[in-house]
Amino acid sequence: MDTDHDVSGFRFHQVVKVEDIHKFRQNDNAFAIIGFASDEGVRRNKGRQGASEAPDAVRQALAKLPYHLDSDIIDAGNVICEGSDLEKAQVELGEQVERILQSSATPVIIGGGHETLYGHYLGVRKFLGKDSKLGIINIDAHFDLRDDELPSSGTMFRQIMEKDEKAGYLCLGVQEFGNTKALFKTADELGCHYMLQQEVESGNFQKVQREIDAFSKDHDYIMLTLCTDSMMASAAPGVSAPTPLGLDPKTVKKIMTYTAAHEKTISFDISEVNPRVDENGKTVKLAAYLAAETMKSFRHTAQNYNEAEEIKW
């Protein structure tokens, strides 16, 4: 701790307030962090388990970072997947996310496997109602459009797209050798939008920006999700499905901060961090930095963000 009285010297752990989610008060200048401690979706998808440990590990890393926000930070605790009852846990996460949105705070969900996204979606959709056009931007090496018998960390977007005609899906960073031809066909049949990893990192970030802008224009609200296996394994080794030729973390930061700056974006999650197989806390620390950077960008419009930060795409 640098100081216990000068706010300009505070770190996250000095400003976070732990609150019962059932007692939230209206606060449109707050982020509410909620963890989803689940490995069940990854287990069903035959990935490396350990992501259930991520919510607390990422919190610990975030707690040490200098605090540069002008918003309140509320810790709403964890939703825990008990045994194999993933579906029940996802419904509970959705209920918690809905309560956060009802209080006008911004949900920040720390998974957990990427099955976290489905609970995140349930809460946002219930809050918005069935008629709002909801766009989901996913930074991921994989489509997660599998048609498995049981829902898992690889099925969420198919579950959503097949039942929600008002939902749209944009996946950034997709890898050809991370998805079968059948999955690319499914993505096309379901009307998904996507950019391949090499397109995202072509050096022309204006193309990514235009894709995000066009997708956002077609939807009333945007929710953002990051699967950390989208990043190169050398930078993010502690994930459920490592990707040797994934995105550079700096590129992921640009996508997340730009998307968060859009006024239509109302929530985000970070999933698939696996502390159990991490190297010296590298991936956990990266997730904490990305969470902090994304929260810092949330209170601007995209235009103001570009002007304030002088981004050179």
pLDDT in tens, the chain (313 residues): 567 777 788 999 999 999 988 888 888 899 999 999 999 999 999 999 999 999 999 999 999 999 999 899 999 999 999 999 999 999 999 999 999 999 999 999 999 999 999 999 999 999 999 999 999 999 999 999 999 989 999 999 999 999 999 999 999 999 999 999 999 999 999 999 999 999 999 888 999 999 999 999 999 999 999 999 999 999 999 999 998 999 999 999 999 999 999 999 999 999 999 999 999 999 999 999 999 999 999 964 334 434 434 443 3
Q: Distance between CA 307 and CA 313 in Å, rounded?
A: 12
Q: What is the topology classification, in CATH, of domain 7-307?
A: Arginase; Chain A (3.40.800)
Q: CA–CA distance from 207 to each of 69, 135, 310 (Å)?
A: 29, 18, 17
Side chain identity, residue 265: T
Q: Which helix (H) or strand (E) holds 302?
A: helix 302-309
Beta-carbon contacts of 53 under 8 Å, excluding residues fewer than 6 positions away, are 37, 274, 275, 276
Give domain limits for the chain: 7-307
Q: Distance between CA 261 and CA 300 in Å, rounded?
A: 5
Model pTM score: 0.93
Would you state the structure tokens that stand for residue 73, as one six-digit string? 């930070």
Beta-carbon contacts of 192 under 8 Å, excluding residues fewer than 6 positions away, are 143, 145, 157, 161, 169, 170, 171
